[in-house]
Chain A
């Protein structure tokens, strides 16, 4: 059964790094047709796509302009998972973070992780 399982801390201090992992079941992070995304949702910003990683003969990444200077989305083929690192977080980064697969549209989602940025 296809499934995305998220893990990571729910509380991060300002200026530190937010790190989340998304474990994939029933598909492969190295798929030649899928891309693996991070999306967040907050009351003030709604749904916001952050970035993705995907394999098409080589690994590729795309990132939203709003976070491009401080984000890294990385695959881990040995564990069939991918991760999000968001540096220098502020309270504005408080949100529910989702991982999601895209095959032309986001068809498979993780359950979401509420991450609060607070000291």
Chain B
């Protein structure tokens, strides 16, 4: 059972905006930066967002991250079929001295 809680699934139609939530606590999201990854089967996870809301080069600006208190969100605008994948949030937990991942959200583009 993950300490970071994500909805198991999300969906949208092409062009729509979808938001994926990630709920944690005061020792992880409430204190440390949140990271978001996209994972496709057979490949290494791809970094989408770091430091809560920063995009690495090559990640389109239709993806954005935000935090509020002990929760974080990843928004994907202008949904495309290539966005269909699993999405994970992650944060360092200062009480556990461990990295935590959310349980993952499977995004389906209808």
Binding site for B on A (CB under 8 A): 37, 41, 46-49, 52, 62-65, 98, 100, 102, 104-107, 109-112
Given A46-B86, A49-B101: A109 touches B45 (CB 8 Å cut-off): yes
CB <8 Å contact, B98 and A41: no
Q: Name the B residues within 8 Å of A49 (CB-CB).
A: 90, 98-101
Interface of B is mostly: strand
Binding site for A on B (CB under 8 A): 2, 33, 35, 37, 39, 42-45, 47, 50-51, 86, 88, 90, 96-104
CB <8 Å contact, A105 and B50: yes
Q: Nearest CB to that of A110 among chain B residues?
A: B44
CB <8 Å contact, A112 and B44: yes
CB <8 Å contact, B47 and A107: yes
Q: Name the A residues within 8 Å of B35 (CB-CB).
A: 105-106
Q: Name the B residues within 8 Å of A105 (CB-CB).
A: 33, 35, 47, 50-51, 90
Q: Name the A residues within 8 Å of B90 (CB-CB).
A: 47, 49, 105-106
CB <8 Å contact, A41 and B50: no
CB <8 Å contact, A46 and B98: no
CB <8 Å contact, A65 and B44: no
